[in-house]
Copies of this chain bind each other. A is one copy, B any other.
């Protein structure tokens, strides 16, 4: 059941934060490191997990791996990500992530170029 795989991805805080951030646009691993303040290996492994279940896609852009939400996501995923956004409102940690995301965006780092394609 695809829905189950989605829920399994959602039952980890780091992955919730990753998906929440990806709703705003593609990001590379090092930016996740900065925003989430987590070691590279942790970020990388969670991204691999999400990728394995099809919740995110990845493409290389020079030496960076750019992760995104899938372009044509199945209905369940779409509903769940929407629900996640709603639920997350009251949790400060997600807001803080967004703040750090803004800082990065303003700095004009590689993601920018990559996201624009």
Chain B hits for A83, CB < 8 A: 79-80, 82-83
Q: Which residues of B contact A7 (CB under 8 A)?
A: 7, 10-11, 16
Return chain B residues, CB-CB under 8 Å to A4: 11-13, 16
Q: Pick from B11, B76, B87, B93: contact of A76, CB below 8 A.
A: B87
Contacts of A76 in B (CB 8 A): 87
Min distance, Cβ A108 to any Cβ of chain B, angstroms? 33
From B12, B16, B75, B87, A80 is in contact (CB under 8 Å) with B87
Interface residues of A (CB under 8 A from B): 1, 3-4, 7-8, 10-13, 16, 75-76, 79-80, 82-83, 86-88, 90-91, 93
